Structure 1
Amino acid sequence: MTTPLRFGTLGTEGSNHSMIVRKYIAFRKLEDAEIVLYTDFREAFEALVAGDLDFILQVSVHPSHTEMSARYVHRVHVVDTFIAPSKSLAIISRTDVEQPRSIAFQPATKHYADLSAWPRQIDEVSIMTVAEGLQAGRFDSGITSVELVEQAPDRFRIDQLFGPITDVWVLFGRKPLDIRSLSAWPDAPVCRYFHE
């Protein structure tokens, strides 16, 4: 009996990372794969190096992506990349706050809009912890999934809709691939633009 492959990524459950890793595993038909969620990518990369994980999935716009890629360059290797859309995102505010003063965001989403109207800006682990903080009343606004408004339209409103954001996702593993030239998707959707 073989051991299931273990994929690590950023959590909590319901985050874009956890959603995309599940879609990737389904796309690759790895039904028995296990998912381990981390609140910090450094901890995940250390687990990969130690052999506790087989792969890590990270969105390329995550603030730690460059650091992790460089810090672990000789021990961790890019083994796959793909593009995928996130959940539909928005700046969401509590309806009981007329003039929001605080906003929370996962750092990768910070530059989606001009946030200068919010004097207090808070980094959070994921879009899900942003939603949890809004529900608990810890801040007035947040960049998170529109699911929050769909679940409680009387408590939350959309101030600025971004929709799904399409990003590049990178899969890391411990074994390097034998790639000696460009490796790209031969029939990528962009190809239709090249011949128009």
Structure 2
Amino acid sequence: MKFITLGPAGNNHELVTLRYLDFHGLRDRAALAFARDFSEGAAAVLSGTADFMVQCAVHPECSTTMARSFDGLYALDTFISPSRDLAILQRKDVAQPRTLAVMSPTLGYIDASRWEDVELVPTVSEVTTGLIEGRYAAGVGYASTAQDHPELLRVAQFIGTVDDVWIVYGRTRVTEGRLLAWPDSPASRLYREAA
């Protein structure tokens, strides 16, 4: 069984996909591959070179991926998971950065008005790598990177993580024309307690 998600290795998509595989007891029975983007991942599932794909629901490509259901790619599971803590990271060799590199879904986590320019970058991993390599002076990246590279980076503002919704896609349509929900989910218990 082969799962595919957005690369590169070490990003939130890998972290959360591995958690999902662990939850289902599949870590030792499933291979994990990485795609450059979700169009490539969807094509791999549709062609049979991968069986399932995992995508964060706030990823900018999510609506395009969901539309691939007309090609035979179906959402078959969803789950909620936090990912790596985020922070506004700043290079130590830049006194006052004027541009902030950020993946668009993370813009809502911060007040971007203090930056002259905001540069949209496709992934948090790319922001983080760009900070290490010196392509960006400041950006929303993985907080742990400042600990891993204390000579280069500092945390200008700790953000933390949110509980994102994640979608698992495959070639089998599981809804059979009906609503699929977990009747004894934590949310269901909250509803019963509130009623």
Matched pairs, number: 192
Moved more, 155-164 or 177-186: 177-186
The answer to whether the 8 A contact 1:7-1:34 is kept is yes
1:172 alignment counterpart: 169
Match of 1:7 among 3, 10, 20: 3
The answer to whether the 8 A contact 1:78-1:171 is kept is yes
1:70 alignment counterpart: 67
In angstroms, what is the RMSD of aligned CA positions?
1.8
2:15 alignment counterpart: 19
Cα distance per residue 1:135-183 (max 9 Å; x no partner): 1111111111111112123422222222111111000000111544332
* Partners of 2:69 and 2:189 in 1: CA distance: 36
- CA separation of 1:186/1:72 partners in 2, compared to 1, >3 Å: closer, same or farther? closer
Cα distance per residue 1:93-149 (max 9 Å; x no partner): 112211112222233323322323333433334222211111111111111111111
* Partners of 1:185 and 1:60 in 2: CA distance: 19
Structure 1 runs not aligned, ≥5 long: none
Query: Partner letter of residue 55 of structure 1?
Result: F
The answer to whether the 8 A contact 2:46-2:73 is kept is yes
1:143 alignment counterpart: 140
Higher helix share: 2
> Where in structure 2 are the equivalents of 1:1-196 lying within 5 Å?
5-30=1-26, 31-194=28-191, 195=193
* Partners of 1:34 and 1:70 in 2: CA distance: 26
Structure 2 runs not aligned, ≥5 long: none
The answer to whether the 8 A contact 2:68-2:74 is kept is no
Cα distance per residue 1:7-46 (max 9 Å; x no partner): 1111111110011111111111112211111121111111
Percent of aligned pairs with the same residue?
Answer: 35
Structure 1 consecutive aligned stretches of length 4 or more whose deviation exceeds 4 Å = none
- CA separation of 1:192/1:178 partners in 2, compared to 1, >3 Å: closer, same or farther? closer
SS in 2 for 1:86: coil
The answer to whether the 8 A contact 1:17-1:57 is kept is yes
Moved more, 109-118 or 79-88: 109-118
SS in 1 for 2:155: strand
Moved more, 53-62 or 113-122: 113-122
